[in-house]
């Protein structure tokens, strides 16, 4: 089967550099190259010949500056992704990345002059990967209605799935995050995007949480009889904290399954903790007093406040995935990660890095002092049977 070639524009004012870059791209294989000397010319070419998959350009450009070009090209939907060439300060590149994202484009990475065909091939691979993710995201699944969700809860169609957390040094499993999936009888396995908004709107989040806890704690008890310790982390929405019954229900389940409270963590997104009422704080305190752990999730993604770490009884920080994504490219992200890791250690709080996708990220995070990680580089979310089989294979391999 013949693969459709990528269409790449080289936007470069220097004719020699432009020609050299175009040749490198052709050497990378299966690439159709379009060349332009400045932004106005590039817009004209793209308007008349069609858009491109990737634009490769320097930030310094004669005539129309690259920011104006990107804005107009994005508005006209003439490009999909961007590669920046040349040497620029980390803080400038970080802001460019944010602007590119706000324009609805994808920044594949940076490339210095001179560069090799191998470097370009790596960025082409990044495009194929990001394009596949974007294509999958465009598959729109209708939001479930209240009647179907209530019926699914009653029929036991929601199942706990498990994504492992790992020790970055030993690659041993530290526990699992418990996620929800809907095994619809007429459709494929449905993700939370389909049903979570409906559950929240209909105040059914507690029903889902208790279902997840029953399944996961039963699995934990089963694993414990075979000598395997399995820590569990459940996602908790801030709105659930207003319920005075929640902590009592959690305690009853822990007692029923003889689960050590210290083996259970509740993860709360920090953006949901902006306004903490007395009832919410009481619920958090009760969970901590019974021995459960509390993790502040997606830390750094919203309105982070160090005061929140002091005022609320969290004992774990879960750093947002954007930091793991940028760790290999952005010095500031590395400094933030290292600082948060030291802060967590000083406060007696565990620090979890989520969103790790490559071994390079994993190795760099380890060098920054990070201990616990989570992400696709280790494993995607698994069903109960898949997790049991995976744990059995891991124990057999270790033995």
pLDDT in tens, the chain (399 residues): 345 678 888 888 888 888 888 888 887 777 888 898 888 988 998 888 888 888 888 877 777 778 888 889 888 888 888 888 877 776 677 778 778 888 888 888 777 766 666 777 777 766 765 555 444 444 455 788 999 999 999 999 999 999 999 999 888 899 999 999 999 988 888 989 899 989 999 999 999 999 999 999 999 999 999 989 999 999 998 889 888 899 999 999 999 999 999 999 999 876 566 556 777 889 999 999 999 999 998 887 655 567 777 888 999 999 988 889 888 878 888 999 999 999 999 999 999 999 998 889 999 999 999 999 999 888 889 999 999 998 887 765 555
- Given 354, 357, 360, 393, which residue is catalytic? 354
**Using CB atoms within 10 A of its CB, is residue 163 exposed (0-12), middle (13-18) or buried (19+)?**
buried
b (16+ CB within 10 A) / e for 359-381: eebbebbeebebbbbbbebbbeb
How is residue 185 annotated by DSSP? S
Omega before 114 within 30 of 0, i.e. cis: yes
Separate counts of helices (H) and strands (E) for the chain: 15, 14
Tell me the pTM. 0.70
The rounded Cα 268 to chain-centroid distance in angstroms is: 16
Tokens encoding 376: 């696709």
* Sheet of 6-11, strands arranged across: 31-36, 6-11, 52-58, 79-85, 106-111
Alpha carbon distance, N-terminus to C-terminus of the chain: 45
Domains of the chain (ranges; CATH) run 6-137 (3.40.50.2300), 146-398 (3.20.20.450)
Could you give the angle at which helices 331-347 and 90-102 cross, rounded to 10 degrees? 100
Tokens encoding 136: 């999958």
Which segments of the chain does DSSP mark as H helices, in order?
15-28, 39-49, 66-75, 90-102, 117-137, 146-155, 192-201, 205-225, 246-256, 278-289, 306-311, 321-326, 331-347, 359-367, 384-398
SS3 126: helix
Q: Please indicate whether residue 354 is annotated as part of the active site.
A: yes
């Amino acid at each position: 089967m013949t693969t459709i070639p990528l269409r790449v524009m080289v936007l470069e004012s220097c004719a020699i550099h432009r020609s050299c870059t175009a040749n490198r791209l052709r050497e990378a294989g299966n690439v159709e190259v379009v060349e332009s000397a400045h932004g106005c010319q590039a817009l004209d070419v793209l308007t008349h010949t069609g858009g491109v998959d990737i634009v490769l350009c320097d930030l310094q450009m004669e005539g129309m500056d690259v920011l104006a070009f990107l804005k107009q090209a994005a508005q006209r939907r003439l490009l999909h992704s961007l590669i920046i060439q040349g040497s620029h300060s980390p803080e400038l590149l970080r802001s460019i990345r944010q602007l590119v994202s706000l324009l609805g484009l994808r920044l594949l990475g940076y490339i210095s002059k001179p560069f090799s065909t191998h470097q370009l091939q790596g960025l082409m691979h990044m495009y194929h990967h990001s394009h596949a993710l974007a294509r999958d995201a465009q598959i729109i699944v209708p939001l479930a209605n209240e009647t179907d969700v209530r019926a699914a809860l009653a029929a036991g169609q929601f199942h706990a799935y498990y994504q492992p957390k790992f020790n970055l040094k030993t690659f041993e499993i530290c526990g699992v995050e418990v996620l929800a999936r809907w095994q619809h009888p007429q459709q494929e396995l449905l993700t939370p995007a389909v049903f979570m908004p409906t559950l929240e709107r209909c105040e059914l989040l507690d029903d889902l949480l208790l279902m997840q806890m029953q399944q996961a704690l039963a699995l934990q008890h089963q694993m414990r009889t075979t000598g395997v310790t399995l820590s569990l982390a459940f996602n908790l929405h801030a709105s659930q904290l207003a319920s005075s019954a929640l902590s009592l229900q959690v305690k009853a389940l822990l007692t029923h399954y003889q689960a050590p409270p210290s083996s259970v963590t509740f993860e709360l997104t920090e953006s949901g903790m902006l306004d903490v009422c007395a009832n919410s704080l009481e619920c958090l305190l009760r969970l901590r007093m019974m021995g459960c752990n509390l993790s502040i999730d997606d830390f750094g993604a919203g309105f982070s406040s160090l005061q929140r770490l002091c005022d609320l009884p969290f004992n774990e920080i879960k750093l947002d995935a954007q930091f793991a994504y940028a760790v290999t490219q952005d010095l500031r992200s590395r400094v933030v990660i290292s600082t948060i890791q030291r802060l967590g250690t000083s406060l007696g709080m565990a620090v979890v890095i989520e969103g790790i996708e490559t071994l390079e990220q994993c190795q760099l995070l380890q060098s920054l002092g990070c201990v616990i990680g989570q992400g696709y580089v280790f494993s995607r979310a698994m069903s109960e049977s898949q997790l049991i089989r995976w744990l059995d294979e891991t124990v057999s391999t270790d033995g």
